[in-house]
Chains A and B, each alone.
Chain A
Amino acid sequence: MALNEELLLRQLREPKTAQSAFAVLVKEYTEPLYWHLRRMVLDHDDANDLLQNTFIKAWTNIDGLQGNSKISTWLYRIATNEALTFLNRQNANDIVSLDNEEGTAVNLEADEYFDGDELQRRFQEALQTLPPKQRMVFNMKYFDEMKYEDMSEVLGTSVGALKASYHVAVQKIAAFFQDDI
């Protein structure tokens, strides 16, 4: 269902209709935002926490939504910031040795909410070797097929830089699979 963004924005700003309009927003964007977060943090419980934070921040900062911004890119921007902040904090607290290359694969193998085969697990392991922001670019382009212009609004990075980042990310992941051949 295509949202009438202009109407929805007016309703979000009107006290009488804000809550019902926000419910529409939640229904529309829960799944895409969840998967956006889950692909970054891998763990379901972590993704759930970040998703809650994302919507609560959106609810309390509706005024921060400018008229010229799409609601979707605004929400993705909040979610992206939540994910990157979480990952930076996690990296700082991580006590796992950097030499443990099997860390991610082992975690996913034990994860009841991961349904992929060995190739998929190794694919996720390869993705984890990318810097968080580059991994975000890869995910948004490869899985979400997001336009670079929208991605630029979400990440605050130029379209040219995003294209370059995606190109490098794809090269790295492809090299990983070429080693397998």
Chain B
Amino acid sequence: MSDEELIKSKVGTGNPFKVPEGYFETFQQQLLSSLPERPSMDEEPARTRVWGRARRTWISVAAAFVGVVVLFATLHQMNVTKESVALATADEMAFTEDEMAEYMASSVFDDYTLYSYLTNEE
């Protein structure tokens, strides 16, 4: 016989304790009628929690928007700078089509001389 079986054979698993009559029913009624306020049940903290969550979301959205704006602004500035450099160079080194056409029309070179000039023939 195991030790546990020995104990059970002597005293079993019954309950030798008693309670006053009607104790459990009375207990339940008294307890439920005297429950304190639950802090987590208040609306204010719930609103704060909701507002906190919404505010965090809006801050995230705003931060993302600002980030995108800054990025575009930076990229735009970079393009403007490149374009300005390109235009400046072009201004210094290139003729427009109209300017070329006018030059050709007003050229004092005859066709032969012009051809020679263009082909570097002497």
Interface centre among B15, B17, B27 (most CB of A within 10 A): B17
**Looking at the complex, which of A47-55, A95-103, A154-162 is the stretch in contact with chain B?**
A47-55
Residues of A within 8 Å of B31, CB to CB, are: 26, 52, 55-56
Asked if A30 and B3 sit within 8 Å, CB to CB, the answer is no
User: Closest Cβ of chain B: how far from A53's Cβ, in Å?
Assistant: 11
Assess whether B4 is interfacial by the CB under 8 Å rule.
Answer: yes
Asked if A15 and B41 sit within 8 Å, CB to CB, the answer is yes
Residues of A within 8 Å of B28, CB to CB, are: 23, 26-27, 30
Assess whether B32 is interfacial by the CB under 8 Å rule.
Answer: yes
**Looking at the complex, which of B5-13, B91-99, B113-121 is the stretch in contact with chain A?**
B5-13
Asked if B13 and A171 sit within 8 Å, CB to CB, the answer is no
User: Closest Cβ of chain B: how far from A91's Cβ, in Å?
Assistant: 21
Assess whether A164 is interfacial by the CB under 8 Å rule.
Answer: no
Asked if B7 and A174 sit within 8 Å, CB to CB, the answer is yes
Asked if A114 and B38 sit within 8 Å, CB to CB, the answer is no
Residues of A within 8 Å of B11, CB to CB, are: 119-120, 123
B6, B10, B27: the one contacting A119 at CB < 8 Å is B10
* B interface residue numbers (CB < 8 A to A): 3-4, 6-7, 10-11, 13, 15-20, 23-24, 27-28, 31-32, 35-36, 38-41
Asked if A142 and B16 sit within 8 Å, CB to CB, the answer is no
* A interface residue numbers (CB < 8 A to B): 15, 18-19, 22-23, 26-27, 30-31, 34-35, 38-39, 42, 44, 48, 51-52, 55-56, 59-60, 62-63, 112-117, 119-121, 123-124, 142-143, 170-171, 173-174, 177-178, 180
Residue of B nearest to A59 (CB): B35
Residue of B nearest to A15 (CB): B41
Residue of A nearest to B16 (CB): A116
Asked if B10 and A60 sit within 8 Å, CB to CB, the answer is no
Residues of B within 8 Å of A115, CB to CB, are: 16-18
Residue of B nearest to A167 (CB): B3
User: Closest Cβ of chain A: how far from B41's Cβ, in Å?
Assistant: 5
Assess A123 versus B10: contact at CB under 8 Å? Given A15-B41, A55-B31, A114-B18: yes
Residues of B within 8 Å of A39, CB to CB, are: 17
Residues of B within 8 Å of A117, CB to CB, are: 16
Residue of A nearest to B41 (CB): A15
Residues of A within 8 Å of B7, CB to CB, are: 123, 142, 170, 173-174, 177
Asked if B36 and A59 sit within 8 Å, CB to CB, the answer is yes
Residue of B nearest to A26 (CB): B28
Asked if B6 and A48 sit within 8 Å, CB to CB, the answer is no
